[in-house]
């Protein structure tokens, strides 16, 4: 049986990846290592909790002894590394935490993998999950490709860029088999309601104001989270060692236009008059150093590995809004902090 270590598996994207691997690969033993920070929520994985090929480990990727112990207890064949501090606004107020988790934590994993795998690299893979934000900010034209130079501009993207550099350095210096993918903004179920889409769905439902940074003209390229998880599956199994893959759905939206789609979808579901909630839009002070535009060219992934997004954006947004409607308890637990008791009830 292959042991695959997935880090950050209790978070938004990680929980979708863990579920996909546990359900689709009964011959893999999936070890989900997560520190359960504010963003980690084991309720996300209730449905697979008892599966025989799944083990949850509460722990910090920065903990040297723990990571060494994991590599010596299990013959780990692959690492899919998602654990990170992920929110740009938090990185502006607490950059040191981002360096600790995203840079040092990644290095700690790389070091353990290098030392454990050094005598036999056959069939091993360290797959690092990164972001398109490492490339910086675009003007009105053009796309990020795999050869775009790094130019990170926020403490979050600088920490992710640094971790990407270390991953490549371990490949170059020690021959560690690595792959990196850089994905655009994700949306879908189980996203912590601090990021734009879940925050605004929740606020529209509760008639709370919608804080639009600046003029709402910044552009983001949105991908349904399940499509990102599918891409990770394809890249993990078919990607070329040493390569980078950009992941995105050619789906750019100006923030204000996206917000109007959210308003329309939520108002319709609530039986409100079309556009009724537009009055909630409140323009607020812009985010410091706010990147203007991200846009990913994912042609390499399509041409070489055959991956394409499965959903049109409007369908993805409807599914997402529907999920937040049907899972008000999840949102309430997350906003009240109640979800953090789940680990104690289930595992202690
Ligand atoms: P998230 O914040 O929802 O989840 C992060 C997870 O990592 C949480 O479960 C948290 O408990 C865990 N974690 C944090 N610090 C840890 C530590 N020190 N040790 C162990 N676990 C720790 O993040 P997400 O949005 O799911 O992002 C996952 C990964 O994908 C990140 O590496 C992020 O940079 C990358 N990414 C995210 C997006 C996006 O739109 N959300 C886009 C591209 C790439
Ligand atoms: P976010 O979801 O934080 O993702 P990222 O900063 O990683 O792209 O933000 C998406 C866009 O929405 C970004 O341009 C910032 C903007 N935004 C707002 O206008 N208001 C908000 O309250 C938030 C959280 C984001």
pLDDT tens per residue across span 213-229: 999 999 999 999 999 99
Q: Which of 54, 127, 135, 156 is catalytic?
A: 156
pLDDT digits (tens, 9 = 90+) for 76-103: 999 999 999 999 999 999 999 999 999 9
* pLDDT above 90 as % of the chain: 95
> Residue 247 corresponds to which tokens in the numbers above?
């992941």
Say if CB 132 and CB 184 are below 8 A apart. yes
Q: Out of 196, 254, 286, 317, give the residue to mutate to test ligand 2, the one with the largest number of ligand atoms within 8 Å of its CB.
A: 196
How far is the centre of ligand 1, averaged over its atoms, from the C-alpha of 154 (Å)? 16
pLDDT score recorded for residue 63: 98
Which position among 60, 111, 132, 291 bears the catalytic label?
Answer: 132
For 153-184, how does the pLDDT look when each residue is reduced to its tens digit (9 = 90+)?
999 999 999 999 999 999 999 999 999 999 99
Q: Are 77 and 3 in contact (CB under 8 A)?
A: yes
Backbone angles phi, psi at 276, to 5 degrees: -55, -35
Q: Is 148's C-beta closer than 6 angstroms to any atom of ligand 1?
A: no
**84, 195, 200, 284: which to mutate for ligand 2, most atoms within 8 A of CB?**
195
- Which segments of the chain are extended strands (E)? 2-7, 28-34, 54-58, 76-81, 125-131, 178-183, 185-187, 210-213, 219-224, 244-247, 252-254, 281-284
Residue carrying structure tokens 């993207």: 157
The percent of residues above 70 in pLDDT, for the chain, comes to 100
Annotation says 146 is catalytic: no
For the chain, counts of helices (H) and of strands (E): 13, 12
| Nearest-angstrom CA–CA distance, 65 and 42 | 24
Residue matched to tokens 């009055």: 279
Q: Is the CB of 220 under 6 A from ligand 2?
A: yes
Binned at pLDDT 50, 70 and 90, residue 347 comes out as confident
* Ligand 1 contact, 280 CB (< 6 A): no
Using the atom order of ligand 2, give the atom closest to the CA of residue 131.
7
Question: Cα(65) to centroid of ligand 2, in Å?
Answer: 36
Angle at 213 between CA 210 and CA 214, to 5 degrees: 130
CA distances from 37 to 13, 90, 208, 275 (A): 15, 13, 26, 37
Query: What pLDDT is stored for residue 338 in this prediction?
Result: 87
Exposed / middle / buried, residue 157 (Cβ in 10 Å: 0-12, 13-18, 19+): buried
Annotation marks residue 297 as catalytic? no
Of 8, 37, 17, nearest to 194 by C-alpha is 37
Distance CA 204, CA 266 (A): 7
What the block records as the tokens of 32 is 């989900």
Other Cβ atoms within 10 Å of 26 Cβ, number: 11
pLDDT in tens, 30-40: 999 999 999 99
Taken in order 263, 268, 274, 276, is the CA torsion positive or negative? negative
Which of 111, 133, 291, 297 is the catalytic position? 133
Residue 348 has pLDDT above 90, yes or no: no
132 catalytically annotated: yes
| Residue 128 near residue 241, CB atoms below 8 Å | no
Domains, the chain, ordered by start? 2-187+222-251+289-312 (3.40.50.720)
> Taking Cα atoms as reference points, which of 181, 227, 230, 224 lies closest to residue 24?
230
Q: What per-residue confidence (pLDDT) applies to 344?
A: 83
């Amino acid at each position: 049986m292959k042991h695959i270590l997935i880090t950050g598996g209790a978070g938004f994207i990680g929980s979708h990846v863990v579920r996909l691997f546990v359900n689709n690969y009964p011959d893999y033993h999936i070890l989900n290592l997560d520190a359960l920070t504010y963003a980690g929520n084991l309720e996300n994985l209730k449905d697979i909790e008892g599966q025989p090929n799944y083990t949850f480990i509460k722990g910090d990727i920065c903990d040297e002894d723990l990571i060494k112990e994991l590599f010596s207890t299990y013959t780990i064949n692959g690492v899919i590394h998602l654990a990170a501090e992920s929110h740009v606004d938090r990185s502006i107020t607490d950059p040191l935490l981002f360096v600790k988790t995203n840079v040092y934590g990644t290095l700690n994993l790389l070091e353990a993998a290098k030392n454990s795998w050094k005598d036999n690299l056959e069939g091993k893979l360290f797959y690092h999950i990164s972001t398109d934000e490492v490339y910086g900010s675009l003007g009105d034209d053009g796309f990020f490709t795999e050869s775009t130079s790094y130019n990170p501009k926020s403490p979050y993207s600088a920490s992710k860029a640094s971790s990407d550099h270390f991953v490549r350095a371990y490949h170059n210096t020690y021959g560690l088999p690595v792959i990196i993918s850089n994905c655009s903004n994700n949306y879908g179920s189980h996203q912590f309601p601090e990021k734009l889409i879940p925050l605004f769905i929740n606020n529209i439902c509760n008639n709370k104001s919608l804080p639009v940074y600046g003029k709402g003209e910044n552009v983001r390229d949105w991908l349904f989270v399940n499509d990102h998880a599918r891409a990770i599956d394809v890249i993990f199994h078919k990607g070329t060692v040493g390569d980078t893959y950009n992941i995105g759905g050619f789906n750019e939206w100006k923030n204000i236009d996206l917000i109007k789609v959210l308003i329309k979808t939520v108002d319709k579901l609530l039986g409100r008059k079309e556009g009724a909630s537009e009055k909630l839009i409140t323009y607020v002070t812009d985010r410091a150093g706010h990147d203007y535009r991200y846009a990913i060219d994912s042609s390499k992934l399509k041409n070489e590995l055959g991956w394409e997004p499965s959903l049109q954006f409007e369908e993805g947004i409807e599914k997402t809004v529907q999920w937040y409607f049907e899972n008000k308890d999840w949102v309430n637990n997350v906003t009240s902090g109640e979800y953090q008791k789940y680990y104690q009830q289930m595992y202690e």
